C-alpha cells in the first residue's frame, strides 16, 4: 500500500467530519440568503460550478503531468447523483418552511437508517449488532440535541413528511456518490452531479415562481459563501472521503452536521445552546465511535485501489 494511499485513508474520517461541519453552515446561509428556498438550492450548486470546473481542470493537468491513468466508467451514476441531490435540496428547503428547523433537521438525518437498510437488504452488506446500536445511539443523541425545539402537531405534519422524503433522497445521493467514487475523482463527481442538480433545481424554481434573484450585494455574498463553503468545501470533502470509508459508516458520521448547525446557530443567530445540546452532542459522538469500532478492518489492497479514485 503506497504512502499516498495510506495518507488518504488516514485523513478520510477527519475530512468527512470537516465536510459535515461545513455543511452545518448551510441552514444559516439559506435563512440569510433573501431568495426562495429552491432558488437558494439552485444558486448553491450553480455558483459552485465555475469553482468546481477550475479545480477539476487543474486536477486533470496535475494527473496528466504525473503520467497517471485515470479510471473511467459510465457517468450515468453521477447524473443520477445530481438528480437525487436536487430532490434532497428542493424538498428539504420546502420542509424548513412547513415545519420547525429542529423537526426538519432531525427527520432529514434519518438518511443513515435508510442507507443502511438499502445496503443490508439490497446489497447484502451485513452490519454487526454494535453498528446498529451505534446508529440508534447517534439518532437518540440528535433527538436530545434538538428536543427543545421539536414541535409535533397537525400544522407540522406535511413538513415532517417532506423531511423524511428528504432523508430518502439524501441516502440515495450518498449511495450513488459512493458508487461513483469507485471510478471517478471527487471533483468529477461533484462537477457532474452539481450540473445535473442545477438544471433540475432551475426548472423547479421557475415553475414555483418563488423569489429568484438576490436583492443586493449582501445576498450575493451569502449565496457565494453557501456555494463555496458548504457545497465545494463541505460536500466536496464528503465526496472525497466516500472513496475511502464505508457508505453506511460515513452516513452515520454525517450526524455531526446537526451538532455543527446547532453551534453555528448559537454563535451567528443567537439561538439557544445549553447543557441539553452538549449532552445530545456527546451522545451523537458516542454513537459514531461505536459504529466506527463495529466496522471490520479494511483490506489494504482494496483501500490502495480505492485511494487512487
The answer to whether the CB of 78 falls within 8 A of the CB of 184 is yes
For the beta carbon of residue 225, count every other beta carbon within 10 angstroms.
Answer: 20
The answer to whether the CB of 230 falls within 8 A of the CB of 29 is yes
Determine the distance from the C-alpha atom of residue 41 to the mean position of all C-alpha atoms in its chain, rounded to a whole number. 13
Q: Mean pLDDT in runs of 10 for the chain (309 residues)? A: 51 87 85 88 95 88 53 79 92 80 76 85 81 87 74 76 91 90 88 94 91 92 95 92 84 82 75 76 86 63 39
pTM: 0.81
The answer to whether the CB of 126 falls within 8 A of the CB of 183 is no
The answer to whether the CB of 79 falls within 8 A of the CB of 192 is yes
Q: How far is CA 309 from CA 14, 187, 242, in A?
A: 18, 10, 10
The x, y and z cell numbers of residue 305, run together, are 485501489
- pLDDT value for 261: 76
- pLDDT value for 148: 66
Closest C-alpha to 12, from 175, 173, 243, 248: 243
How far apart are the C-alpha atoms of 131 and 281, rounded to whole Å? 18
- pLDDT value for 304: 39
- pLDDT value for 97: 75
- pLDDT value for 232: 95
* Sequence-distant (≥ 6) Cβ neighbours of residue 79 within 8 angstroms: 192, 193, 196
- pLDDT value for 302: 37
The DSSP H or E segment spanning 84 is helix 76-98
Q: What share of the chain is helix, strand, coil (3-state, %, to 5)?
A: 80, 0, 20
- pLDDT value for 9: 59
The answer to whether the CB of 17 falls within 8 A of the CB of 253 is yes
Amino acid at each position: 500500500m503506497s504512502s499516498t494511499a495510506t495518507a488518504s485513508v488516514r485523513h478520510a474520517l477527519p475530512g468527512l467530519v470537516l465536510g459535515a461541519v461545513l455543511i452545518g453552515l448551510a441552514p444559516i446561509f439559506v435563512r440569510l440568503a433573501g431568495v426562495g428556498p429552491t432558488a437558494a438550492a439552485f444558486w448553491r450548486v450553480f455558483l459552485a460550478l465555475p469553482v468546481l470546473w477550475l479545480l477539476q481542470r487543474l486536477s486533470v493537468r496535475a494527473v496528466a503531468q504525473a503520467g497517471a491513468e485515470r479510471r473511467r466508467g459510465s457517468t450515468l451514476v453521477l447524473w443520477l447523483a445530481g438528480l437525487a441531490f436536487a430532490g434532497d435540496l428542493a424538498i428539504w428547503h420546502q420542509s424548513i418552511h412547513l415545519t420547525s428547523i429542529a423537526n426538519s433537521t432531525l427527520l432529514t438525518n434519518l438518511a443513515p437508517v435508510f442507507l443502511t437498510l438499502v445496503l443490508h437488504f439490497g446489497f447484502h452488506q451485513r452490519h454487526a449488532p454494535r453498528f446498529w446500536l451505534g446508529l440508534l445511539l447517534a439518532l437518540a443523541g440528535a433527538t436530545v440535541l434538538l428536543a427543545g425545539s421539536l414541535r409535533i402537531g397537525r400544522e407540522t405534519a406535511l413538513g415532517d413528511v417532506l423531511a423524511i422524503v428528504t432523508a430518502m433522497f439524501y441516502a440515495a445521493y450518498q449511495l450513488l456518490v459512493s458508487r461513483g467514487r469507485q471510478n471517478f475523482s471527487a471533483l468529477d463527481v461533484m462537477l457532474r452531479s452539481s450540473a445535473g442538480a442545477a438544471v433540475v433545481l432551475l426548472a423547479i424554481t421557475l415553475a414555483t415562481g418563488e423569489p429568484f434573484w438576490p436583492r443586493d450585494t449582501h445576498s450575493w455574498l451569502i449565496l457565494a459563501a453557501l456555494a463555496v463553503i458548504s457545497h465545494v468545501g463541505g460536500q466536496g470533502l464528503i465526496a472525497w472521503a466516500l472513496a475511502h470509508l464505508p457508505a453506511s459508516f460515513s452516513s452515520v458520521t454525517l450526524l455531526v452536521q446537526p451538532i455543527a448547525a446547532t453551534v453555528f446557530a448559537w454563535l451567528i443567530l443567537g439561538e439557544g445552546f445549553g447543557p441539553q445540546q452538549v449532552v445530545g452532542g456527546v451522545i451523537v459522538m458516542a454513537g459514531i465511535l461505536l459504529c466506527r469500532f463495529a466496522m471490520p478492518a479494511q483490506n489494504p489492497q482494496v483501500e490502495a485501489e480505492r485511494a487512487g479514485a
